[in-house]
Amino acid sequence: MNNDATIAGVGISLPPSVVQDELWDGYFARHYPPERRALVQRIFANSGVRTRQAAVSPLLEDVSDWSTERRMRRYQVEAIPLGKEAVGRALTDAGLAADELGLFAVCSCTGYATPGLDILLARDLGMSPSVRRLFVGHMGCYAALPGLGSVADYVVAQGKPALLLCAELTSLHLQPAAARVDMQQIVSHALFADAAAAVVVTPGSQGYAVREVAAVTDTTTADHMTWEVTDLGFRMGLSPRVPAVLKLHVRELVDNLLARHGLTIAEVDGWAVHPGGPKILNVVQEQLGLDDAAMAPSREVLAAYGNCSSPTVLLVLDALRRRPAPPRRVVMLAFGPGLTLYGTLLETSTVTG
C-alpha cells in the first residue's frame, strides 16, 4: 500500500492586477512629503514587483481610514468568491468532487469572522456535513507549509483526501499616512498583494509526495516581524534585520531536512522560495549556493504577483508544476513571524515509488 500524501491538484485565484508604477503615481506618491518622495519611490522601484493584485485597489477606493470592523466586513465579501474559485480549480485539477474531501483547512491572517471561510465555503461548494474543518490564523507568510503538513498528516492517517486553502487580502490593511516617514510601512506598502491558492492532497496518487515539513523558530528575534490588530486594520512591523536572521538559519534548516532523506542541495532540481522581497531571495540564494535559474520562479512570482503572504509559495509551486519538464524534487521555503523558517520536501511519485 502507498501511504504517501500527494499533491494532486492546485488552484489559483487572483483579484484584478495593478501596475506597480501606477499605484505609485496614482496613490502613494501624494502621501509622502516632497523631501522624502524620491527615497520612497526608489523603495517601490527596487521592490522587485512589477504588477500585483488588489481586491480593494487604492486607485479606486481608499480604505486607509476605515475601522477594523469595516475592513473585516469587506473581507468576507471579497474572500468568499476568491476562495471559492481557488478551491474549485484545485478540485477540478485533482479530478475530485467537493463531497469527497475528509478535511478542509483554511489559512488566513488578513481577516476574521464567524462563521468563517471554512464553514461558508464548505456549505457553498457542497462539501459533506461531516467534513473536518481547520482554520489557521495569524501565522503570516509561512502558513501554507504548516497547513500543508497538517493536511498531509491527515491524509496519511485517515486515507482520505484533504484540501488546503490560503487566502489573503492584504490590500484591506492599507495604513493611514503618518506624520513621519515609517520605513517599515513603506516597504510593506511596496510589496504586499492579494491572492488565494488551494492544494488538494490525496493518498497515493500521481504528483508530488509530501516527504517532510520542517521548521525552526528563533524567538530571540520575535519583534522583527509583527502583525498587530489596531483600530485601523492590521499593521505590519517589518524589521530590516530579517534577512540577517534568515542568513543564520536557512542553510542549516535545508541541510538537515535533506540529510534526513539522504539528499543534498545539488540533488534538488526545484526551489519554491517565498518571495518576501528581493533581499530575502538574495540571502537564500547566497546561503544555499543556488544559481539564478533555480531562483527564477520565485523572482518571477514576486515580479508578477507581489508578496501575497501565505498563498505566495504555492504560486511558485504552481509555476514549477506547469513547466514542460517539472522538477522531480522540490524544496519549499517560507518565512514569517517568530522569526520562523519552514521547509518542505516534495518528491514526484516516480522518485518515491
Residues forming the active site: 141
- CB count within 10 Å of CB 306 equals 29
Residues 6+ apart with CB under 8 A from 125: 84, 87, 88, 91, 98
Pairwise CA distance, residues 171 & 276, whole Å:
16
Give me the DSSP letters along 302-336.
Answer: HHHH-B-STTHHHHHHHHHHTSSS--SEEEEEEEE
What letter would DSSP give residue 52?
A: E
* Cell numbers at 90, concatenated: 484545485
Q: One-letter amino acid identity for 42?
A: R
What letter would DSSP give residue 192?
A: B
What is the H or E stretch that residue 211 is in? strand 208-217
Pairwise CA distance, residues 325 & 192, whole Å:
30
Judged on CB neighbours under 10 Å (0-12, 13-18, 19+), 230 is: exposed
Residues 6+ apart with CB under 8 A from 15: 53, 54, 55, 78, 82, 194, 195
3-state secondary structure at position 157: helix
Give the gyration radius of the chain's Cα atoms: 20
Q: Quick check: 300 and 238 in contact, CB under 8 A?
A: no
Q: One-letter amino acid identity for 313?
A: V
